[in-house]
């Protein structure tokens, strides 16, 4: 076979792989979204019949000793309520009145993504500020789809969310994602990052199938990282709120989460075409772009969070039961994963001040 023929064949194989990869990813998103819809309906039925097993507090202590804020996942009256446990994971949790599918907190600001109703559902993002033990609702935003990811900037000014949506013409019956953010200082609401101008490898990038998901904020309240997906590929993008632009950093990065010291990103990397085990957690050094696989070898479908500068945490579906457990693993590729908190999801490190 001639060189040109070989190149053409390789190009065709690559194109088929990218199309298959994108379809596989869409199928996974569809399964996750459909699964959540069923779960939400079942949860509503269970909650009607169950009463809280623990007293709920109306305040959210986000300062003081280091703690882990998370969504309680065990079936019953406490399910999907926010809870806090010591950062060690040892000790009885405290429970709060907020009922969330996904949550995150920083700088005294809490975002709670939730769903109302069972058969006919509406989705929302509630933004709260907790100061001196008093929790105040700042805003409630109607969301266009099923809650998936949530983040708050370190000082509590910026709030972001990602949801699954359906009905995009280019994607047929599959689900797409929609990522938006709110600036609490200016009141600016950006319903979708798809209004930003994107560039890949320094060149403008335009496509009808662009999706964004999983924001993580820099400390300057101007820049952030997010995943962009298009044409069967994903990129880590650096966003600029002042210019409304997004620039590619590196390929094959999903659900980034910036370390407390701002030097590294933990993310899920697609390592396999197997639908049951497509991802593995990696840490990216932003200065060198060196990638380090973590000791967690299971396929983790989550936007991991940082417990501290040396440790990441993430949710894992329980092997028995319908909930999740929160696991931790060293961020340098060493060590062994271990359970940090049972019956928890959407973990977030708070306190320490």
Q: What is the CATH number of the domain that holds 150?
A: 2.120.10.30
pLDDT tens by residue, 82-116: 999 999 999 999 999 999 999 999 999 999 999 98
Let me know if residue 234 belongs to a domain: yes
The model's confidence at residue 321, banded by pLDDT at 50, 70 and 90, is confident
Q: What pLDDT, on a 0 to 100 scale, did the predictor assign at position 119?
A: 74
Let me know if residue 1 belongs to a domain: no
Let me know if residue 3 belongs to a domain: no
Would you say residue 125 has pLDDT above 50? yes
Let me know if residue 110 belongs to a domain: yes
Domain with 144, as residue range(s), is: 10-350
- Count of domains observed in the chain: 1
pLDDT tens by residue, 210-269: 999 999 999 999 999 999 999 999 999 999 999 999 999 999 999 999 999 999 999 999
pTM score above 0.75: yes
Let me know if residue 165 belongs to a domain: yes
Token pair for 113: 């993504």
For residues 322 and 44, the model is more confident at 322
Helix (H) or strand (E) holding 350: strand 344-350
Let me know if residue 2 belongs to a domain: no
- Tell me what the pLDDT averaged over the chain comes to: 87
For residues 353 and 282, the model is more confident at 282
Q: What pLDDT, on a 0 to 100 scale, did the predictor assign at position 175?
A: 74
């Amino acid at each position: 076979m001639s060189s040109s023929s070989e190149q053409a064949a390789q190009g065709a194989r690559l194109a088929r792989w990218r199309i298959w990869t994108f379809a596989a990813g869409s199928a996974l998103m569809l399964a996750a979204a459909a699964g959540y819809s069923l779960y939400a309906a079942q949860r509503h039925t269970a909650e009607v019949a169950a009463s809280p097993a623990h007293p709920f507090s109306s305040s959210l202590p986000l300062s003081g000793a280091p703690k882990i804020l998370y969504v309680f996942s065990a079936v019953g009256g406490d399910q999907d309520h926010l809870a806090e446990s010591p950062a060690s994971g040892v000790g009885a949790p405290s429970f709060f009145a907020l009922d969330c599918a996904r949550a995150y907190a920083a700088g005294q600001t809490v975002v709670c993504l939730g769903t109302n109703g069972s058969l006919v559902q509406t989705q929302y993002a509630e933004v709260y500020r907790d100061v001196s033990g008093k929790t105040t609702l700042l805003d409630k935003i109607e969301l266009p789809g099923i809650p998936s990811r949530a983040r708050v900037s370190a000082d509590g000014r910026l709030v972001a969310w990602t949801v699954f949506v359906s009905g995009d013409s280019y994607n047929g019956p599959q689900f797409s994602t929609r990522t938006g953010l709110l600036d609490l200082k200016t009141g600016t609401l950006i319903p979708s990052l798809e209004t930003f101008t994107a560039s890949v490898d320094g060149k403008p990038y335009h496509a009808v199938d662009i999706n964004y998901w999983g924001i993580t904020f820099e400390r300057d309240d101007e820049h952030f990282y997010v995943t962009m997906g298009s044409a069967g590929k994903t990129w880590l993008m650096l966003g600029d709120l002042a210019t409304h632009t997004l620039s590619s950093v590196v390929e094959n990065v999903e659900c980034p989460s910036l370390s407390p010291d701002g030097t590294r990103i933990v993310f899920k990397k697609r390592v396999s075409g197997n639908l049951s085990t497509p991802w593995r957690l990696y840490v990216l050094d932003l200065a060198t772009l060196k990638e380090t696989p973590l000791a967690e070898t299971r396929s983790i479908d989550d936007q991991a969070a940082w417990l501290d500068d040396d440790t990441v945490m993430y949710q894992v579906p329980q092997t028995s039961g319908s909930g999740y457990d929160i696991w931790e693993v060293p961020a340098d590729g060493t060590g062994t994963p271990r359970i940090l908190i049972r019956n928890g999801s959407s973990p977030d490190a708070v306190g320490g001040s």
